[in-house]
Structure 1
Amino acid sequence: MRLIHGLGFEVGFVFISLPMMLWFLDIGLLAAFMLEALFLVVFFFYAIAVNWLFDYCRTKLYRESGAR
């Protein structure tokens, strides 16, 4: 489920941010795609790190409190 959520976010991010980058930054299509690729890589690893950290903290919290 996390993979589907991550992919959906990335696809939505491309459709929203690519036209905005073209317009606001006044750059060419190739430069916008390269910038978009950088954003995708950064946010992909960020999302993985945040999810792993959340799962770790949640598991540790539930084990220490004895809750299920």
Structure 2
Amino acid sequence: VSVDPTPVEPAAPKLAPTPDRIADDAATSSRDEMADLLQLEAENQKLRKMLAEKLRAENADLRKKLNLD
């Protein structure tokens, strides 16, 4: 049986949560959530625009097929 002679570094000590650290984590989380929401809103607007264009084209095609123009 061979033993790996590489020393293992001890894990970094866990820091106790302090009110400041909790507030920083909450602020970071809130910023991340806001950034995600803004990105989703931008994607939503883009998709709505694409859908509107597609529906306009489909409506024009249907009007043409029904001889409504």
* TM-score interval (norm. to shorter): 0.5 to 0.7
**TM-align CA RMSD:** 1.9
Structure 1 or 2, whichever has the larger Rg, is 2
Pick 1 or 2: higher relative contact order, CA cutoff 8 A, min separation 6.
Answer: 1
Hey, which of these two has a bigger chunk of helix by percent?
Answer: 1
1:49 matches 2:44 = no
Q: Give, in whole Å, the separation in 2 of the partners of 1:33 and 1:59.
A: 39
Task: Give the SS at the match of 2:68.
Answer: coil
Whether 2:62 is the aligned partner of 1:64: answer no
The total of aligned residue pairs comes to: 43
Deviation (angstroms), 1:37: 1.1
Runs (4+) off by over 3 Å: none
Distance in 1 separating the partners of 2:32 and 2:42: 16
Matches of 1:56 and 1:33, distance apart in 2: 35
Relative to the length of structure 1, the TM-score reads 0.55
Q: Name structure 1 gaps, 5 residues minimum.
A: 1-25
Q: Which amino acid aligns with 2:40?
A: F
The CA deviation at 1:63 is 1.2
